[in-house]
């Protein structure tokens, strides 16, 4: 699905207005400025609610149709780390099987804790990582890139198309290779960062919220949420064992 109805006057690299130079402000004014600037995150997500909702329904239908289909996350840098963060929470939160979750990140697993410069520029790495996963029509690929131009991420989507894997592209710019290559594109137009080009700020925050919504609602539709409760959570520590007991008692009271 292509996006034609957004007027994107700012991209993630646009320079901030001179009245928003946080390095020229007092600490209190700078914190207020950053907080107010974050309002753009919610607005941009609301503007794209239709596309997020379509993604939820489509992903649910694909994963429900098979007992082996996977949810696979892909990205580079901040976007890749955000994808991994969402992926690893699905087992403890929803009991979603670990063999039905996967991710690829530019630079490999080491890039989770250390920047691997230049990794995002290698199209073939992204393409080959997805091809090695033996993806098919039962799988879903969620590819994230703030600019939409990360060649690693574009490569993952191109591989998905080759393997008939449904791909969702999430980006903070509209005019991009990612938007042109994926099956469903979700634009989250957060615009200029308060620190020019630092997409770990509004862009990263918006991507995390978007994934929160998608994965939570997909898992809910798959039966892992009842009455707002995490009914299939994995109680792996004292706190979670106590929570699981409370959930079970609450469910008994509702019967």
Closest CA to 4 of 171, 147, 174: 174
Length of the chain: 255
Contact 138, 163 (CB under 8 A): no
The one catalytic residue in 28, 117, 120, 129 is 120
Rounded Cα distance between 17 and 174, Å, is 22
The answer to whether 120 is a known catalytic residue is: yes
Is 124 one of the annotated active-site residues of the chain? no
Placement of tokens 């292509």 in the chain: 2
Task: Give every strand in the sheet of 71-75, ordered side by side.
Answer: 101-105, 71-75, 140-145, 166-171, 184-187
CA 189, CA 41: separation in Å to the nearest integer? 8
Select from 106, 88, 165, 97 the least CA-distant residue to 133. 165
Q: Name the catalytic one among 89, 117, 124, 193.
A: 89
Q: Which stretches within 169-220 are classed as H helix?
A: 177-181, 202-219
Q: Which residues are designated catalytic?
A: 89, 120
């Amino acid at each position: 699905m292509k996006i034609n109805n957004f007027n994107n006057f700012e991209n993630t690299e646009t320079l901030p207005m001179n009245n928003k130079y946080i390095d020229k402000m007092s600490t209190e004014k700078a914190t207020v400025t950053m907080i107010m600037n974050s309002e753009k995150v919610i607005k941009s997500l609301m503007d794209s609610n239709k596309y997020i909702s379509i993604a939820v329904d489509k992903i649910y239908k694909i994963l429900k149709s098979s007992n082996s289909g996977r949810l696979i996350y892909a990205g580079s840098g901040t976007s890749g780390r955000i994808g991994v963060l969402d992926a690893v929470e699905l087992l403890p939160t929803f009991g979603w099987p670990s063999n039905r979750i996967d991710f690829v990140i530019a630079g490999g697993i080491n890039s989770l804790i250390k920047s691997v410069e230049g990794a995002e520029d290698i199209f073939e790495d992204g393409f080959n990582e997805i091809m090695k996963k033996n993806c098919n029509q039962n799988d879903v690929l969620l590819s994230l890139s703030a600019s939409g131009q990360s060649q690693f991420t574009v490569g993952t989507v191109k591989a998905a198309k080759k393997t008939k894997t449904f791909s969702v592209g999430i980006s903070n710019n509209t005019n991009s290779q990612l938007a042109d290559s994926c099956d469903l594109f979700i634009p989250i137009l957060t615009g200029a960062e308060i620190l020019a080009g630092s997409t770990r700020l509004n862009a990263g925050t918006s991507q995390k919220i978007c994934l929160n919504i998608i994965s939570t609602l997909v898992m809910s539709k798959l039966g892992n949420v009842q009455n707002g409760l995490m009914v299939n959570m994995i109680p792996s520590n004292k706190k979670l064992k106590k929570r699981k007991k409370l959930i079970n008692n609450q469910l008994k009271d509702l019967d």
